[in-house]
Structure 1
Amino acid sequence: MSLAPLTVLRRFRGHDASLADFLASRVEVQPDAPLILFEGETISAGRFAAEVERAAALLAARGIGAGDRLGVLSTNHPTTLVLLFACARLGAILVPANPDYGVEEAAYVFGNAGIAGLVAAPGTLAVAEAARARLAPQPWLLLNERADGVAVELLADALATTHAAPPPPVTDGADRTCLLVYTSGTTGFPKGVMHGQRGIVLSGEAFVARMHLQPGDRLLCVLPLFHINALFYSACGAIACGGSVAVARRFSASTFWRTVAETGATETNLMAAAAKILMLRPESEFVPGHRLRKAFIAPLTDEMIEAFTHRFGVPHLIEGYGMTEIPGALANPFDGERKRGSVGVISPHPDPAVPRPALRLVDDALDEVPDGTPGELLFRTPTLMQGYWNAPEATAAAFHDGWFRTGDLMLREPDGYLRFIARKKDIIRRRGENISGAELDRVIGAHPAVAEVATIGVPSELGDEEVLAAVVLRPGMHATAAEIADWVRARLAAYKVPRFVAFVPALPQTATQRIEKYRLRGDTALLAAAEDLAPSPQTNRTNAGKETVR
């Protein structure tokens, strides 16, 4: 018989909402219980806490104190979690960055954050050194894993030679900023989202309710540790329930089911793109007899639900909604109706003493709209970000009377469930009509030959915009632009049918598999390569009948 979420949390003493006390409350009860699994190694809760203490002593000896920033440029590795908790203990701030960054991107993020130290992986060392060289003053540099022929000091060696005790934990840690997460940049240049310790702890505890986590649950973390999903839900969710987290360096579709089986994972979080990739992989890669029973996937499609519940044997699929700025906002209830096509309802903390999140849907004048009418989602939550780093104007623009403006259009149904319509910036204005890019993505993405799709607005000779669909076909499948248009025409209003269809080998994506539509909008070659299904004298295009076979 499973325990209620609040019962799971109350197996441990109360804490002050700092990461240090949150961890201590668990270690006191189960110091020898496994907490982190990584490539065959198991780190107990007690050992993890001891490594946090040693790392805090090292950082303090290296000049990291309250308010200072420490950068990380690495694929997933347990040291990232150790450094997060060590920074929080000192009142310092961790800045984990995308390991796929080039020099320009890394230099921008670390320069914007003003890091004092940097921890890199062997595979990111060249970028880290080049980016570091552009910063003034230059941060110190450590390597988180041993690599042959590399002269950079190893983190483990530095820890072994640091004998001073760490300073006492900061007394006001719960409300101090401890993390800067730079936005994925799907709409432009990244901003540093500031999160405090209290918000991270509450997010982990709320995830216990969202996924009905139990003390024996093992969460498989395949999403990157520079992302709130991995840090707040997988890592801190495991600590909150008294379970464990199996950390994978990266998501690998070919080895995913083997990893699930070998780690004994019972829960995982996936982006929709990753889930779709798994559905397309050879049957031979699937490992039956696994323990995976729960998956947090957004957005879900009927095809995914069918594949995961019947083919893969994962009975509990939860779709939700959140942003880097407002983690864990909405979700379909674990114990309740799970509505297909809905992002659910408010997802509260299991403790009724924690303030419940609240939402509003508003029009362009910021007046509330009735149920059944799309409106921009405004949100309040105890896990709300503290603002954008060194960007007071952007922070001010993101709020209205204390409500965070998500920029996402939602529709509330009479039963209170919400349905995502589109990003406000993903609305295509065509001949006086508003078209949701997300809706077109969903409809075209359901075509049996389509692996991925992104629809954008492109300039029209008549004013406003025309619709362009950039389509990636499934391996071995083919389709024509006319077939894609006919597919949409059979399902949506005529004004939503794409005029342009471009078959492309891949779509630009962030490390968390979100399609970067802003890059498509800036790609002038995309429109030139697309087939125009409504040729006009102004465009004079002659590329009819093109298709791509993959």
Structure 2
Amino acid sequence: MAANKLSPQEVVALYPAHDYSLSSLLQSRITAVPDKSFLEYEDQRWTYAEFGQTVDQTAAWLRKRGLKAGDRLGVFSQNHPTTVILLFAVAKIGAIMVPLNPDFGVSEARYALSNAEVSGIVCSPRNWQRAQEACREMSPQPWIVLNQSEDNAIGVPAMGDEITPTDAIPADEASGDATCLFIYTSGTTGSPKAAMHGQRGVVLTAEGFVVRMHLQPDERALCVLPLFHINALFYSVGGTLAAGATLVLSSRFSASTFWSVVHETRATTCNLIGAAASILIKRDRSEFRPGHCMTKMFIAPLDENLVRVFNDEFGVRDLIECYGMTEIPGAISNPFPGPRKLGSMGRISPHLSPDYPQPQLKVVNERFEEVGIGEHGILLVRTPTVMQGYYRDAERTADAFHDGWFITGDLVWRDADDFYWFVARQRDVIRCRGENIAGAELDRVISAHPDVLEAAVIGVPAELGEEDIFAVVVARPEKHPTAEDIGQWVAQQLAPIKIPRYVAFVEALPKTPTQRVEKFKLKADSQLFKRATKIQIVPHTTRRGDAVR
């Protein structure tokens, strides 16, 4: 890294102005640094100019496939360069990318693909059979193409076999106002919602991440988080592009090889979730590679021990703690230059454009009246990076806002220095290993077990931070399901991350007069946890386990 660091404003000023579309942001960087490495993956490398050319050719192929402005393209894959390429190619023609969790089971994928009404699907060889099953009953049937060739995928074409350099490059139909991404997020009702994001919001967030992490043009940003989350898409991909830096893409996070990858790729910065960082500090130090180039990381949540180990043993000096939601990317963070407050969500995180208002925060009571310093209340956010709404869900979109402010549903408090501190989530969402798991979805799935009368799922503190999934189950009369039965049932239908960690059987669930389960009473029952059985099953798939060996 250069000895003399540039300010975020100086970094962005290195490049020509753009119009807040993804295509114009990319072209701005191509114009300034065409021969610089932008994307690296294993033994593959694209300069900025080469990446732009690949995006154009991919956009031409999508046009030939029939994709047009406003259409949706599903992407169902582990991290792969084609996902990054498709983000910009889809945006170039004014269409919308719908990235899915590659661990989705058939039912989860079916819901998202059907809800988004995708015209086509690009998937990894590992996921094509699930993709085919998921869209079997869709009408019209979306086309399916692999993102790389696979001998076993008989009759399924691959992108590389269809894209030809001779195809006419389509005119750029992108605009800052155009929707470019659907990011699926869980809600209190359990049915996933597609948060719609426009190109301008992505670009503002990307340039804002240059501020949050003081990214430099010579940065080498390692991306190990999944490309169906805003963290990887908006911060890692977007922030790297905004800084004119280099993105080093990894297919997944692997604790056992993390430091070897950091050392070998000469990565200087990386984003992690707190659970992954906690795993790293518990690993054998023989896996650590001294002499690496990593100087900064974007991690939440942090604690004193994690900071100590990363600072003193791993030699990573700058750890930036933040707060975020799919709907409001880039609004709150501990300031890179300081001061920083360990354990806090941070302060308002600014973006760089003078043409748009800066984010605003306030804490309110149930009557939406602002509360004072130190008082608990619900966090409201107003920011130009806010989602455009939930697709095909006007009611929940309306419920998510009050007078132009997004309602996070999280209880927080503000201190005298305008730092915000998280208290609890109001919503029935379990934060597990960096993902939001809808409790209501698991309630339904477990309650559908033939030996189960009803079930309620709650989150309990996890050893590595965030929460573990705890299922409280009422069995049918004269039936005796085991904790392993419940785990296997969930494993057959949902992603591995949604398998409960603990199961307890009870005679009845506490309920309100209107028969709503009072989950807060389950969380407050200290004896319930003592009666729980820890799941010991091996899931039907090791997809999630492969990611953290």
TM-score range, shorter chain: 0.7 to 0.9
Shift of 1:353: 4.0
CA RMSD of aligned residues (A): 3.3
Tell me, yes or no, if structure 1 residue 78 matches structure 2 residue 85: no
Shift of 1:355: 1.6
Write the letter of the residue equivalent to 1:254. Answer: S
Q: Within 5 Å, which residues of 2 pair with 1:388-399?
A: 388-399=390-401
Report how many residues are paired. 473
Tell me, yes or no, if structure 1 residue 224 matches structure 2 residue 226: yes
Partner of 1:130: 133
Q: Aligned partners of 2:94 and 2:201: how far apart in 1?
A: 15
1:47 aligned residue (50, 57, 76): 50
**Alignment TM-score, normalising by the size of structure 2:** 0.80
CA deviations on 1:203-246 (whole Å, 9 max, x unpaired) are 11000010000000011111111111001000011110010111
More deviation, 139-148/352-361: 352-361
Q: 1:7 to 1:147 in 2, by over 3 A?
A: same
1:277 aligned residue (279, 301, 305): 279
Residues 186 and 514, structure 1, Cα contact 8 Å, conserved in 2: no
Q: Aligned partners of 1:415 and 1:471: how far apart in 2?
A: 29
Partner of 1:158: 162
Write the letter of the residue equivalent to 1:156. Answer: G
Residues 520 and 526, structure 1, Cα contact 8 Å, conserved in 2: no
Tell me, yes or no, if structure 1 residue 149 matches structure 2 residue 152: yes
1:58 aligned residue (48, 58, 61): 61
Shift of 1:273: 0.8
Partner of 1:526: 504
Q: Aligned partners of 2:457 and 2:222: how far apart in 1?
A: 39
Residues 37 and 45, structure 2, Cα contact 8 Å, conserved in 1: yes
Tell me, yes or no, if structure 1 residue 422 matches structure 2 residue 427: no
Q: 1:155 to 1:468 in 2, by over 3 A?
A: closer
Write the letter of the residue equivalent to 2:289. Answer: V
**Alignment TM-score, normalising by the size of structure 1:** 0.80
Residues 69 and 92, structure 1, Cα contact 8 Å, conserved in 2: yes
Partner of 2:118: 115
Q: 1:63 to 1:515 in 2, by over 3 A?
A: closer
Residues 60 and 169, structure 2, Cα contact 8 Å, conserved in 1: yes
Q: Aligned partners of 1:165 and 1:196: how far apart in 2?
A: 26
Q: Aligned partners of 1:231 and 1:132: how far apart in 2?
A: 25
Residues 187 and 428, structure 2, Cα contact 8 Å, conserved in 1: no
Residues 180 and 198, structure 2, Cα contact 8 Å, conserved in 1: yes
Q: 1:543 to 1:22 in 2, by over 3 A?
A: closer
Structure ranking higher on relative contact order (CA contacts 8 Å, 6+ apart): 2
Write the letter of the residue equivalent to 1:61. Answer: K
Shift of 1:285: 1.0
Q: 1:546 to 1:67 in 2, by over 3 A?
A: closer
Secondary structure of 2:11's aligned partner? helix
Partner of 1:430: none
Q: 1:122 to 1:412 in 2, by over 3 A?
A: same
CA deviations on 1:168-189 (whole Å, 9 max, x unpaired) are 111x611100110111568722
Q: Aligned partners of 2:396 and 2:428: how far apart in 1?
A: 20
1:69 aligned residue (68, 72, 78): 72
Partner of 2:259: 257
Write the letter of the residue equivalent to 1:410. Answer: V
Residues 473 and 549, structure 1, Cα contact 8 Å, conserved in 2: no
Tell me, yes or no, if structure 1 residue 87 matches structure 2 residue 90: yes
Q: Aligned partners of 1:54 and 1:41: how far apart in 2?
A: 18
More deviation, 131-140/313-322: 131-140
1:106 aligned residue (109, 120, 129): 109
Q: Aligned partners of 2:30 and 2:176: how far apart in 1?
A: 18
Q: Aligned partners of 2:63 and 2:204: how far apart in 1?
A: 27
Q: Aligned partners of 1:249 and 1:373: how far apart in 2?
A: 43
Q: 1:177 to 1:543 in 2, by over 3 A?
A: closer
Secondary structure of 2:307's aligned partner? helix
Write the letter of the residue equivalent to 1:355. Answer: P
Write the letter of the residue equivalent to 1:166. Answer: I
Shift of 1:341: 1.5
Shift of 1:356: 0.7
Partner of 1:406: 408
2:29 aligned residue (26, 29, 32): 26
Secondary structure of 1:337's aligned partner? coil
CA deviations on 1:121-164 (whole Å, 9 max, x unpaired) are 0111111111121211111111111222322111011102x733
Residues 297 and 320, structure 1, Cα contact 8 Å, conserved in 2: yes
Q: Aligned partners of 1:79 and 1:71: how far apart in 2?
A: 12
Write the letter of the residue equivalent to 2:254. Answer: S
Shift of 1:279: 1.2
Q: Aligned partners of 1:218 and 1:233: how far apart in 2?
A: 13
Q: Aligned partners of 2:378 and 2:496: how far apart in 1?
A: 21
Partner of 2:468: none
Aligned-pair identity in percent equals 47
Shift of 1:304: 1.1
2:347 aligned residue (345, 348, 370): 345
Q: 1:383 to 1:15 in 2, by over 3 A?
A: same
Partner of 1:167: 170
Shift of 1:419: 0.5
Q: Aligned partners of 2:378 and 2:277: how far apart in 1?
A: 28
Write the letter of the residue equivalent to 2:70. Answer: G
Q: Aligned partners of 2:38 and 2:264: how far apart in 1?
A: 16
Q: 1:396 to 1:184 in 2, by over 3 A?
A: closer
Q: 1:175 to 1:472 in 2, by over 3 A?
A: closer
Partner of 1:210: 212
Residues 208 and 241, structure 1, Cα contact 8 Å, conserved in 2: yes
Structure 2: where are the runs of 5+ without partners? 433-438, 444-455, 465-482, 508-524, 537-549
Partner of 2:308: 306
Residues 146 and 157, structure 2, Cα contact 8 Å, conserved in 1: yes
Shift of 1:352: 3.9
CA deviations on 1:80-133 (whole Å, 9 max, x unpaired) are 111111111111000010110111111110000000011010111111111121
Q: Aligned partners of 2:188 and 2:258: how far apart in 1?
A: 26
Secondary structure of 1:28's aligned partner? helix
Partner of 1:334: 336
